[in-house]
Amino acid sequence: MTAATVKVEQVSKSFGRKTVLSKVDLQMEEGQIYGLIGPSGAGKTTLVKMMVGMDLPDEGRIEVLRTAMPSLSMLQQIGYMAQSDALYTELTAEENLKFFASMFKMSRREQKQRIAYAAELVHLTEELGKKVAVYSGGMKRRLSLAIALIHDPAVLILDEPTVGIDPELRQSIWKELIRLKTSERKTIIVTTHVMDEASKCDQLAMVREGRILAEGTPEQLRQQYDAADLEEVFLRAGGVTL
């Protein structure tokens, strides 16, 4: 039987007088990739931040691995890649990885192995000794992804993970995400504007104006919107008449 690893129940959130999320319900299971898609400002980042425990819902409840969020102990189980990179630019990439690894329970040997794995995954092995200050935007995104994976989390939450990453590497990252969900039963949640990536997700939730407009497999959404492809689903859900 599959277990729900992330449960969002009737979650609402406002900033000032602006309602950003309204009674959102979502359930995510292990071994699956979930895509949150929707126009800019729809509330995707706000939602994933609450899943990580970085922000609090005004109403409703979020559980990760049957634990109410926010929860310090759950941080060991969640890997989060934010939309903007939070890196120490005066340190080298390797020092950044070591720093973040040191926040988790890991032996020295394990730390070394995880750093090697994560750096290799994002093709940064040769660049580990460089200061992050000299990294390009894409390299910083790749390092942020490596950091999100450093502690081998059960739940991986990635906010627009491949922005600024070239197509070849994007493909190899997706290959690895698919391996992680299949062989290691990870729960992976991504927000994306890239429809080719959305089509690789097992389940999609279309977010617009703080509500979940539609949910299902990419094929189910395509049928529901009577659309030729996901690009069209996205436009129709965004209110564009085609």
Ligand X SMILES: Nc1ncnc2c1ncn2[C@@H]1O[C@H](COP(=O)(O)OP(=O)(O)OP(=O)(O)O)[C@@H](O)[C@H]1O
Q: Which range of residues in 43-51, 84-92, 119-127, 136-144 is near ligand X by CB under 6 A? A: 43-51
Among 6, 8, 11, 20, binds ligand X (CB under 6 A): 20
| 42 sits near ligand X (criterion: CB under 6 A) | yes
Q: What is the residue-wise DSSP string for the chain?
A: ---EEEEEEEEEEEETTEEEEEEEEEEEETTEEEEEE-STTSSHHHHHHHHHTSS--SEEEEEETTEESS-GGGGGTEEEE-SS----TTSBHHHHHHHHHTTS---HHHHHHHHHHHHHHTT-GGGTTSBGGG--HHHHHHHHHHHHHTT--SEEEEESTTTT--HHHHHHHHHHHHHHHHHS--EEEEE-S-HHHHTT-SEEEEEETTEEEEEE-HHHHHHHTT-SSHHHHHHHHTT---
Work out whether 45 is an interface residue with ligand X (CB under 6 A).
yes
Tell me if 24 contacts ligand X by CB under 6 A: no
Question: Is position 140 an interface residue for ligand X (rule: CB under 6 A)?
Answer: no
15 lies in the site for ligand X, by CB under 6 A? yes
* Smaller CB separation from ligand X, 226 or 231: 231
Q: Give yes or no for residue 40 binding ligand X (CB under 6 A).
A: yes
Quick one: which segment of 35-43, 69-77, 178-186, 230-238 binds ligand X (CB under 6 A)? 35-43
- Candidates 24, 33, 44, 205; binder of ligand X (CB under 6 A) is 44
Residues forming contacts to ligand X in the complex (CB under 6 A) are 15, 20, 38, 40-46, 83
